[in-house]
Chains A and B, each alone.
Chain A
Amino acid sequence: MTDISASSGESAGRSEPLRRIHQLSLWQRIWKNRLLYLLLAPTILGMVVFQYYPALQAFWGSFHSWDGRRARFIGLFNYQFFLEDPRLLQSWANILLLLVFNLISLSFPLMVAYLIYRLPNPRHRYIYRVLVVLPVIAPGFVFIVLWRWLFSLDGGINLILRTLGVDSQVVWLGNSNTALGSLMFMGFPWVEAFTVLIFLAGFIAIPGEMIDAAMVDGATGWQRFRRIELPMVQGQLKVLVILTFIGTVQDFGRALFMTRGGPGFSTMVPGLRMYYAFTQENAYGYASAIGVILFFVILILTLINQRLIRGSED
């Protein structure tokens, strides 16, 4: 065996340089590509240092009583403590409601993208596309400031209601019946530029012949949407559903800056519980355990989503 490969390697080496490359040993091939590895090094090392190492440390920390300096192994106690926390049930219920709500509200950008795509005049399509993107000029945190005022006692929403003759004295974010609903309503009508553009790109990519064929077969407008156009943007839908899962399960910014999780626990979410454990209680192990749980929640939701949307393709 060694004889054959050695001799063929040598004879081929003179006549066919390409064949020789395939017979380089692994180390020779790595050495030959050393410049490529060098180009990848900053990204890969960065990922190891700032992502993989912290991720592993979070798993490790979740089994320890950890104040950021000293750690003591306590097994599953952090998980047990979290799962027995009375605040937990409310925070899971809240995240579930937010998740359902955010998924449903994806239908707004879907509708806007579809209506733009169906407009016959290309000039109109272009104008709407620009107008949809225009609100990105105001950064997200600015809307925290705006909506805090809109929801306040003498803020925009109550002022409008009062001009309409309703003597509204509701402190929208300070009432446990309205706080969570208010957080959901924030950002109405939820036509985020990025989402609309992605849907729109999907619709535009549908081959015209496909639509023509369906129309010849006498498909109604609704059938055309439901049977052809919607399935054709499933790839985009899948990405946006996953991004919504990831975004919603992790997000605690709104709750933190709008309501601090209150009043009571009416807007508490697991992510915010983690933030408080971390910043106020120095309970790093406990905070890590919540992070790990949320990681698995996202993972499971994503896998379910992959199955479900793929399944409906048949």
Chain B
Amino acid sequence: MKHNTRFTLFSHIILIVLIGIALFQVALLFILSGKSAGEIATNPMLPSLPFRWENFERAWDLGIQNYMGNSIILSLSIVGGDILLSVVTAYVFARYKFPGKGFLFGMVLALMMVPGILTLVPRYLLIRDLKLLDTFWAVILPAVLGSNSFQIIVMRTFFQSLPEELFEAARIDGAGHSQILFKIMLPLSIPIVSSMAILRFNGAWNDLIWPLLVLNRDELRPVSVGLVMLSSGAGAPEIGVQMAGSVIASIPMVVIFIVGMRSFIDGLSAGAIKL
């Protein structure tokens, strides 16, 4: 048993050091956001007073305000559309037999092997030809339509594991698809569906290259593009202001963490993801 206590102590040390370094980087964003350039030069890593809230005002006025609004509209539209379509698709594939099912599901699976980099150029041209450049649709449509293979596969696996008797009883009682989906399936699938929703939100919020390509007008840009552009080049504001912008850009994920992280962790821990 002595060996085990030593192993546990060793585990605690490694975990605290590694996770601590990761967490310190997040803390550093906040620490730096409260400093002036001079304070950063003399004391870059530790918090100092007074906390310079004016950095936040400055960042907000430099366009972060507008970028945040854009990001929220884009990300919520993408999550809503994607999850709705993924749930419906996964439901059909999980619970029904019909001609062509194998082929159609194969189409979903095969897309896991089609990397974004292969389709990048033609997708851009498609958006251009649809006259959607410099509109929010340029970001929303390709994100909602056709890029949800992963979510469909994970949710289908989970939906298949639910007992068939539930569905049969509902069908005998004359329930339609929407009732079966929203009254039986979804309440039982909250952890997995919300995990997928959180992952999708995080992905949409983080997306950088695609919006940079299709949104040229500054007033349409999401905060990912806006912040990275703002901090590039000679005219960039001082580090404290850049970090204040970074902290503002983190707020939505903080909210999601507080509200939904428990079900997120439980969903991913359910072990649905393996080959």
For B145, the closest partner residue in chain A by CB is: A46
How far, in angstroms, from A200 to B271 measured CA to CA in the complex? 9
Interface flag for B77 (CB, 8 Å): no
Instruction: State whether A204 touches B269 (Cβ < 8 A).
Output: yes
Complex partner residue of B242 from A40, A42, A145, A188, CB under 8 angstroms: A145
Interface flag for B231 (CB, 8 Å): yes
Q: How many chain A residues touch the partner (CB < 8 A)? A: 99
For B113, the closest partner residue in chain A by CB is: A299
Complex partner residue of B29 from A39, A40, A142, A189, CB under 8 angstroms: A142
For B250, the closest partner residue in chain A by CB is: A138
Q: Which of B49-57, B162-170, B205-213 contacts A (4 or more CB under 8 A)?
A: B205-213
Chain B residues contacting A45 (CB-CB under 8 Å) are 145
Shortest beta-carbon distance from B211 to chain A in Å: 11
Binding site for B on A (CB under 8 A): 26, 29-30, 33, 35-37, 39-40, 42-55, 57-58, 61, 68, 108, 111-112, 115-116, 118-120, 124, 128-146, 148-149, 154, 156, 159-160, 188-189, 191, 194, 197-198, 200-202, 204-205, 221, 235-236, 238-239, 242, 246, 249-250, 253, 256-257, 271, 274-275, 278-279, 284, 287-288, 291-292, 294-295, 298-299, 302
Beyond A30-B99, A43-B89, A250-B116, whether A136 also contacts B253 by CB under 8 A is yes
How far, in angstroms, from A49 to B173 measured CA to CA in the complex? 38
Chain A residues contacting B104 (CB-CB under 8 Å) are 40, 44
Interface flag for B228 (CB, 8 Å): yes
Complex partner residue of B11 from A37, A118, A253, A279, CB under 8 angstroms: A118
Beyond A130-B265, A135-B26, whether A118 also contacts B7 by CB under 8 A is yes
Complex partner residue of A61 from B22, B92, B122, B273, CB under 8 angstroms: B122
Complex partner residue of A298 from B7, B26, B113, B231, CB under 8 angstroms: B113
Q: How many interface residues does chain B have, given as a range?
A: 35 or more
Interface flag for B120 (CB, 8 Å): yes
Chain A residues contacting B22 (CB-CB under 8 Å) are 132, 135, 189, 191
Interface flag for B45 (CB, 8 Å): yes
Chain B residues contacting A194 (CB-CB under 8 Å) are 199, 268
Chain A residues contacting B227 (CB-CB under 8 Å) are 141-142, 145
For B275, the closest partner residue in chain A by CB is: A238
Interface flag for B274 (CB, 8 Å): yes
Beyond A201-B268, A298-B113, whether A154 also contacts B148 by CB under 8 A is no
Interface flag for B190 (CB, 8 Å): no
Instruction: State whether A46 touches B144 (Cβ < 8 A).
Output: yes
For A111, the closest partner residue in chain B by CB is: B14
Beyond A47-B108, A132-B19, whether A29 also contacts B98 by CB under 8 A is yes
How far, in angstroms, from A37 to B175 measured CA to CA in the complex? 19
Shortest beta-carbon distance from B203 to chain A in Å: 10
Beyond A134-B23, A134-B257, A302-B113, whether A287 also contacts B121 by CB under 8 A is yes
B1-18 contact mask (Cβ, 8 Å, vs A): 1 or 0 = 001100110011011001
Instruction: State whether A235 touches B275 (Cβ < 8 A).
Output: yes
Instruction: State whether A119 touches B11 (Cβ < 8 A).
Output: yes
Could you tell me the dominant secondary structure of chain A's interface residues?
helix
Chain A residues contacting B86 (CB-CB under 8 Å) are 43
Instruction: State whether B249 touches A239 (Cβ < 8 A).
Output: no
For B254, the closest partner residue in chain A by CB is: A137
Beyond A204-B271, A239-B273, whether A141 also contacts B206 by CB under 8 A is yes
Instruction: State whether B92 touches A40 (Cβ < 8 A).
Output: yes
Chain B residues contacting A137 (CB-CB under 8 Å) are 26, 250, 253-254, 257
B211-247 contact mask (Cβ, 8 Å, vs A): 1 or 0 = 0010000000000100110011000000100110110
Contacts A46-B146, A149-B242, A191-B19 aside, 10 further interface pairs with beta carbons under 8 A come to A48-B146, A55-B118, A55-B122, A139-B249, A145-B246, A189-B18, A189-B22, A271-B117, A275-B209, A295-B114
Interface flag for B194 (CB, 8 Å): no
Instruction: State whether B246 touches A138 (Cβ < 8 A).
Output: yes
Shortest beta-carbon distance from B36 to chain A in Å: 14
Chain B residues contacting A198 (CB-CB under 8 Å) are 268, 273-274
Instruction: State whether B148 touches A43 (Cβ < 8 A).
Output: yes
